[in-house]
């Protein structure tokens, strides 16, 4: 068993973990291990929203862009209908070298498209939400070691079995910076800077982003039924709560998304992506909201019923981003899109 915090990033703790040194989790879990040379990653969410018009032009274009020199080491795409009824497709791309990402973004064709004020179609909205955490500011968790998702695909390697999981507060204990830092929100509340139909959101420090996913492709029989009829409806209820009523408890935005292939066909993978004011707000929701507590309880029951032999794959990535690691930009988007809902 090993710590989720890589040896290179371990330091004398000013803040204790929640579990004693002899803690043994009741079931295994793993995390991504990046190469030592990786100091910072980029998680880029490129979204298109529409009520009616076909976003395929944008989707094909951004996919082509991803394939160019300096493109992401991994990307995928997901879809959902947002709180205002807009169909939203997000192409999510990961880099493990910010300079490569910056160079890729800065190519004239890409930059000009993005900066243009003559939009190809005024009926589509576009946004980009870019989080580029240094390696000590995020953590990943997987219920199986053989199928990375999200930023972990870049890592190329998984850890051995982790110690810091299966208890509330595990995510914090897995983030290297939590050894010395409370990870509390810092700086003034988020503000909008508008230029016509383009709005930039000025972030605050230690915003928290979670992408928390499930893959039920390989489930069969009882397990599949348990997921689809016991877990998914409760998960959906929790996701809807965060989307519609999350703001007072510090959830700036929540998207419960289905992963689609390049042809737009739904896969049997979904995830919630949520921005929280800080890690504490995410922790409080996760550990006290009835829907999430129910999800966790159901999961704990199912893993024990199935003797820890799950075909359902679960994973997440949790980031606490410094202010200079965040960039949010919305073009032609409705007023409640993403971070716009929370920024004043």
Residues that are catalytic: 316
- Cα dihedral: 328, 314, 145, 130 (round 10): 0
Site for a copy of itself in 85-104 (CB under 8 A): none
Residue 192 pairs in a beta bridge with 201
Nearest distance, CB of residue 185 and a copy of itself, angstroms? 9
296 touching a copy of itself, by CB under 8 A: yes
Q: With respect to a copy of itself, which residue has the nearer C-beta, 74 or 165?
A: 165
C-alpha torsion sign, points 45, 338, 324, 213:
negative
Distance CA 125, CA 336 (A): 12
Query: Whats the size of the chain, residue-wise?
Result: 344
Interaction between residue 233 and a copy of itself (CB under 8 A): no
293 binding a copy of itself? (CB under 8 A):
yes
Contact 207, 326 (CB under 8 A): yes
Site for a copy of itself in 249-278 (CB under 8 A): 278
Q: Is 16 in the site for a copy of itself (CB under 8 A)?
A: yes
Interior/surface letters 249-263, b for 16+ CB within 10 angstroms, e for the rest: bbbbbbbbbebbeee
Verify binding: residue 188, a copy of itself, rule CB under 8 A. Answer: no
In angstroms, rounded to a whole number, what is the distance separating the alpha carbons of residues 248 and 244? 10
288 binds a copy of itself (CB under 8 A): yes
The neighbouring-strand residues paired with 200 are 193, 329
Closer residue to a copy of itself in complex, CB, 17/132: 17
Cβ nearer to a copy of itself, comparing 193 with 300: 300
Q: Is 263 strand, coil or helix?
A: coil
Q: Which two tokens stand for residue 276?
A: 């929280």
Interacting span for a copy of itself (CB under 8 A) from 20-28, 48-56, 106-114, 333-341: 20-28
Query: Contact at 8 Å (CB) between 255 and 82?
Result: yes
Q: Nearer to a copy of itself by C-beta: 141 or 257?
A: 141
Nearest alpha carbon to residue 270 among 313, 209, 215, 320: 215
Q: How many Cβ atoms from other residues are within 10 Å of residue 330's Cβ?
A: 26
Contacting a copy of itself (CB under 8 A), which of 10, 26, 109, 228? 26
Which residues are bridge partners to 48 per DSSP?
A: 89, 126
Of 224 and 289, nearer to a copy of itself (C-beta) is: 289
Span of 58-66, 97-105, 151-159, 284-292 interacting with a copy of itself by CB under 8 A: 284-292
Q: Please tell me whether residue 126 adopts helix, strand or coil conformation.
A: strand
Instruction: Tally Cβ neighbours within 10 Å of residue 57.
Output: 13
Which residue, 20 or 108, has its beta carbon nearer to a copy of itself?
20
Taking CB under 8 A as the rule, does residue 224 contact a copy of itself?
no
Asked whether position 284 contacts a copy of itself by CB under 8 A, the answer is yes
Q: Choose, by CB under 8 A, the member of 197, 287, 335, 336 that binds a copy of itself.
A: 287
Contacts with a copy of itself: how many residues (CB under 8 A)?
29
Question: For a copy of itself, which residue of 122, 184, 261, 266 counts as binding (CB under 8 A)?
Answer: 184
Q: Which of residues 142-181 bind a copy of itself (CB under 8 A)?
A: 166-169
The alpha carbons of the chain give a radius of gyration, in whole angstroms, of 20
Q: What residues make contact with a copy of itself under the rule CB under 8 A?
A: 15-16, 18-20, 23, 26, 166-169, 182, 184, 278, 280, 283-284, 287-290, 293-294, 296-298, 300-301, 304
């Amino acid at each position: 068993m090993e710590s989720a915090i890589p040896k290179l990033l371990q330091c004398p703790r000013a803040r204790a973990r929640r579990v004693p040194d002899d803690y043994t989790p009741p079931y295994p879990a793993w995390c991504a291990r990046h190469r030592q040379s990786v100091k910072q990653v980029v998680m880029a969410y490129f979204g298109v929203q529409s009520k009616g018009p076909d976003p395929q032009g944008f989707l094909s274009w951004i996919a082509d862009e991803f394939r160019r020199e300096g493109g992401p080491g991994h990307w995928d795409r997901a879809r959902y209908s947002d709180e205002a009824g807009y169909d939203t497709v997000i192409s999510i791309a990961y880099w493990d070298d910010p300079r490569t990402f910056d160079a890729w973004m800065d190519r004239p064709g890409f930059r000009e498209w993005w900066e243009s004020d003559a939009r190809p179609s005024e009926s589509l909205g576009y946004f980009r939400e870019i989080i580029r955490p240094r390696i000590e500011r995020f953590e990943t968790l997987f219920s199986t070691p053989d199928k990375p998702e999200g930023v972990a695909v870049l890592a190329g390697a998984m850890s051995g079995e982790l110690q810091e999981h299966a208890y509330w507060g595990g995510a914090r204990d897995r983030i290297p910076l939590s050894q010395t830092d409370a990870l509390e929100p810092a700086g003034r509340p988020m503000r909008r800077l508008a230029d016509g139909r383009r709005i930039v959101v000025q972030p605050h420090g230690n915003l928290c982003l979670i992408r928390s996913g499930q893959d039920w492709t390989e489930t069969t029989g009882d397990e599949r039924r348990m997921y689809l009829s016991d877990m998914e409806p409760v998960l959906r209820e929790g996701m809807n709560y965060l989307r519609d009523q999350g703001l007072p408890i510090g959830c700036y935005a929540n998207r419960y998304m289905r992963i689609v292939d390049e042809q737009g066909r739904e896969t049997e993978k979904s995830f919630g992506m949520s921005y929280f004011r800080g890690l504490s707000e995410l922790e409080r929701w996760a550990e006290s909201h009835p829907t999430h507590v129910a999800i966790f309880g159901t999961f704990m029951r199912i893993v024990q019923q199935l003797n820890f032999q799950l075909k359902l794959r679960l994973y997440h990535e949790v980031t606490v981003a410094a202010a200079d690691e965040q960039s949010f930009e919305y073009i032609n988007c409705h007023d409640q899109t993403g971070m716009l809902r929370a920024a004043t």
